[in-house]
């Protein structure tokens, strides 16, 4: 049976890009793949400057938001990376096998490092830690959005290299599991929806706040006047309809757009309805969790217990195969004679 692992950074709110690209899939997969592991990767969130108090509160918000989406601790393990020190131990092992050039080639490294005058080595090593996250649990399926594909290629290379040196087929070669909504664009319609670009819609935002963001959002640039026919296939709002509305509504949206039957604001109102339908139960569960924070703590503690048992076993095996297990005194030469 395949093992599922995935992770999310607590570097900001859970947004609809995370949700549609990955987390909604986690919720579906936890029922079909018992033993799935989902990790709040807090060590990944400290590669830049950050405020410890803010990180602490974001870890909390992320755990609460994930539970609110339907992540169920009875079906899977939800835990924090920093509760399991074996992540960083295996990451060190993998740095010894990873060519520097492979890390420098990573698109995310190029993007993130261009923002620094003095580049923290953690930004370069980030995908090594990500490989360790996955392989520590010997997971073979990783539900993620499109932006993580390159990191998973590196994880496969690393598994192959370690296996070739120390034990054939010990680590599986993990594959990405993508959804049809693998790349959600920001509301500018130009770049990926991303916490660092500040172009997100949070999963727990109110209807009014969502509308304030949707109303000015980019649509088909050729639709200048209300009467201009639109092109749904180039419109980011249309792709959000595909994610949040049922097929009959999506079909009608396309017809109304092409014929200029609706203006863009009418179309956005129908999108808002679809979003509110999907997000209201999530917001409701978040309110219940706010009133009962112990449920969040219990879920994380249970998840860490499950994760720790697997992680410790993997590291015992890894150390043994690498000659790093407990020493036994050598047999004295006289006893051999």
Shortest gap between Cβ of 21 and ligand TYM (angstroms)?
A: 2
Binding residue for ligand TYM (CB under 6 A) from 138, 161, 175, 183? Answer: 183
Shortest gap between Cβ of 22 and ligand TYM (angstroms)?
A: 3
Binding residue for ligand TYM (CB under 6 A) from 3, 4, 17, 304? Answer: 17
Give yes or no: 333 in active site. no
Q: How many CA atoms lie within 13 A of 47 on its CB side?
A: 23
Residue 192 vs 319, nearer CB to ligand TYM = 192
Shortest gap between Cβ of 330 and ligand TYM (angstroms)?
A: 41
Provide the token pair at 304. Answer: 């860490």
**63 touches ligand TYM (CB under 6 A):** no
Binding residue for ligand TYM (CB under 6 A) from 84, 136, 184, 253? Answer: 184
Give yes or no: 195 in active site. yes
Instruction: Determine the Cα–Cα distance for residues 294 and 173; give it in Å rounded to an integer.
Output: 37
Q: How far is CA 292 from CA 18, 70, 163, 249, 298, in A?
A: 25, 16, 45, 37, 11
Residue 203 vs 299, nearer CB to ligand TYM = 203
Residue 191 vs 222, nearer CB to ligand TYM = 191
**232 touches ligand TYM (CB under 6 A):** no
**314 touches ligand TYM (CB under 6 A):** no
Looking at the DSSP assignment, which residues form a beta bridge with residue 142? 176
Residue 12 vs 263, nearer CB to ligand TYM = 12
Count of residues that interact with ligand TYM, criterion CB under 6 A? 24
**182 touches ligand TYM (CB under 6 A):** yes
**22 touches ligand TYM (CB under 6 A):** yes
Binding residue for ligand TYM (CB under 6 A) from 3, 4, 18, 79? Answer: 18
**8 touches ligand TYM (CB under 6 A):** yes
What SS3 class is residue 202? strand
**9 touches ligand TYM (CB under 6 A):** yes
Q: Which of residues 117-156 bind ligand TYM (CB under 6 A)?
A: 130, 133-134, 142, 144-145, 147-148
Shortest gap between Cβ of 94 and ligand TYM (angstroms)?
A: 13
Instruction: Determine the Cα–Cα distance for residues 205 and 62; give it in Å rounded to an integer.
Output: 14
Per-residue burial over 174-207, b = 16 or more CB atoms within 10 Å of its CB, e = otherwise: bebbbbebbebbbbebeebbbbeeebbbbbbbee
- Nearest Cα neighbor of 45 from 78, 80, 20 is 80
The answer to whether 311 touches 87, Cβ cutoff 8 Å, is: yes
Shortest gap between Cβ of 332 and ligand TYM (angstroms)?
A: 48
**H/E element, 302:** helix 294-321
**7 touches ligand TYM (CB under 6 A):** yes
Residue 8 vs 300, nearer CB to ligand TYM = 8
Which residue's C-beta sits nearest to ligand TYM? 21
- DSSP H helical ranges for 145-263: 149-165, 207-214, 236-244, 247-258
Instruction: Determine the Cα–Cα distance for residues 141 and 144; give it in Å rounded to an integer.
Output: 9
Residue 264 contacts by C-beta under 8 Å, 6 or more apart in sequence? Answer: 219, 223, 230, 237
How wide is the angle at C-alpha 88 spanned by C-alphas 82 and 89, nearest 5°?
130
Give yes or no: 192 in active site. yes
Residue 30 vs 194, nearer CB to ligand TYM = 194
Instruction: Determine the Cα–Cα distance for residues 230 and 257; give it in Å rounded to an integer.
Output: 5
Q: How many CB atoms lie within 10 A of CB 336?
A: 7
Residues taking part in catalysis: 112, 192, 195
Residues that bind ligand TYM (CB under 6 A): 6-9, 17-18, 21-22, 41, 44, 130, 133-134, 142, 144-145, 147-148, 182-184, 192-194
């Amino acid at each position: 049976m395949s093992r599922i692992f995935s992770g999310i950074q607590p570097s900001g709110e859970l947004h609809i890009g995370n949700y549609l690209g990955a987390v909604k899939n986690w919720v579906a997969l936890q029922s079909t793949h018992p033993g799935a592991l989902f990790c709040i990767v807090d060590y990944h969130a400290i590669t830049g400057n950050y405020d410890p108090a803010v990180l602490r509160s974001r870890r909390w918000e992320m755990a609460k938001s994930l539970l609110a989406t339907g992540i169920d601790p009875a079906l899977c393990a939800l835990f924090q990376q920093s509760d399991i020190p074996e992540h960083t131990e295996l990451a060190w092992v993998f740095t010894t096998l990873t060519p520097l050039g492979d890390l420098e080639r990573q698109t995310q490294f190029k993007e993130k490092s261009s923002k620094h005058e003095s580049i923290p080595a953690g930004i370069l090593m980030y995908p090594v830690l990500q490989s360790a996250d996955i392989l520590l649990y010997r997971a073979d399926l990783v539900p993620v959005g499109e932006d993580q594909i390159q990191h998973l290629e590196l994880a496969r290379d690393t598994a192959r290299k370690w296996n070739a040196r120390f034990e054939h087929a010990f680590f599986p070669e993990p594959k990405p599991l993508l959804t049809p909504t693998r790349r959600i664009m920001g509301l500018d319609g130009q770049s990926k929806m991303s916490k660092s670009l500040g172009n997100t819609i949070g999963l727990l935002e109110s209807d009014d706040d969502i509308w304030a963001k949707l109303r000015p959002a980019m649509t088909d640039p050729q639709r200048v006047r209300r009467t201009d026919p639109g092109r749904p296939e180039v419109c980011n709002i249309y792709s959000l309809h595909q994610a949040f509305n049922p097929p009959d509504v999506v079909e009608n949206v396309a017809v109304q757009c092409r014929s200029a039957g609706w203006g863009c604001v009418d179309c956005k109102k129908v999108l808002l309805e679809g979003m509110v339908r999907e997000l209201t139960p999530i917001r409701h569960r978040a309110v219940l969790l706010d009133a009962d924070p112990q449920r969040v703590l219990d879920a994380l503690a249970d998840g860490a217990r499950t994760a720790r048992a697997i992680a410790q076993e993997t590291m015992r095996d890894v150390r043994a195969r690498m000659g790093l297990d407990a020493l036994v005194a050598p047999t004295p030469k006289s006893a051999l004679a």
